[in-house]
Structure formats: structure tokens, C-alpha cells
């Protein structure tokens, strides 16, 4: 089955919304607003790929957070499959955070 562009955008939007429900355990902001999700791609076969990073390579949730992202994206989006790529380039910085996240953390 081939999805229409509207359907792939719908799945992408559902993945983004799912990412907004996952919080960094050390920072009270969701991982999407923190800027940890670099890219979400949905192919016309319904498969999704998420490129994400962590605040640092030594992050205590490095072993569990990508799996949580994959599981939540798969369950809540309707994607046929989800693959999460943990990437380190570009390096995460505070500049990747949304203005809302910066405001919430008193950085603005």
C-alpha cells in the first residue's frame, strides 16, 4: 500500500506529538522542545525514520530513551515501522531548544 503525501504528513505529525509526551528525566521539558529530535521522515510505505540525539554522550538514558522513542512513535502514529537513529552530529546545544523550552527553563 502506498500512502499519499497527506497521509505521510499525518503520520509525521502524530510522531511529533508523541515526542512531545516524552520528557528528559533531568530537565522538565519534552524531548521535542529540547531539540533532541533532529528529523522525522515518513516514506510512502508508512515506514518512519527518526534522527535524534542526546544532551551528551554520557546521558544516563542513552540506553533506554531511543527505545522509548521508537516504541511510542510506533504505537501512537500508525507508522508501519519505526527506526530510530542516534546521531551525534551536529552536536546538541542550547540553541536547538525551542523558545518555549528556553522560557520554561528561565533561559530567556
Among 69, 64, 79, 76, CA closest to 38? 69
Q: Domain 5-104 maps to which CATH number in 3.30.428.10, 3.20.20.30, 3.30.300.130, 3.30.420.280?
A: 3.30.300.130
Q: Are the C-beta atoms of 52 and 35 separated by less than 8 Å?
A: no
Please list the pLDDT of the chain residue by residue as tens digits (108 residues): 799 999 999 999 999 999 999 998 888 899 999 999 999 999 999 999 999 999 888 888 888 899 999 999 999 998 999 999 999 999 999 999 999 999 988 887
- pTM (two decimals): 0.91
Residue 71, C-beta contacts closer than 8 angstroms, at least 6 positions apart:
none
Residue 2, C-beta contacts closer than 8 angstroms, at least 6 positions apart:
44, 45
Run of H or E residues at 51: strand 47-52
Domain limits of the chain? 5-104
Q: Are the C-beta atoms of 82 and 73 separated by less than 8 Å?
A: yes
Amino acid at each position: 500500500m502506498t500512502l499519499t503525501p497527506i497521509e505521510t504528513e499525518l503520520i509525521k505529525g502524530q510522531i511529533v506529538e508523541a515526542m512531545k509526551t516524552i520528557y528528559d528525566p533531568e530537565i522538565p521539558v519534552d524531548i521535542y522542545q529540547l531539540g533532541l529530535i533532529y528529523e522525522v521522515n515518513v516514506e510512502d510505505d508508512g515506514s518512519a525514520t527518526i534522527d535524534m540525539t542526546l544532551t551528551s554522550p554520557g546521558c544516563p538514558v542513552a540506553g533506554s530513551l531511543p527505545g522509548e522513542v521508537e516504541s511510542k512513535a510506533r504505537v501512537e502514529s500508525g507508522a508501519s515501522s519505526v527506526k530510530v537513529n542516534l546521531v551525534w552530529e551536529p552536536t546538541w546545544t542550547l540553541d536547538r531548544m525551542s523558545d518555549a523550552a528556553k522560557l520554561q527553563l528561565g533561559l530567556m
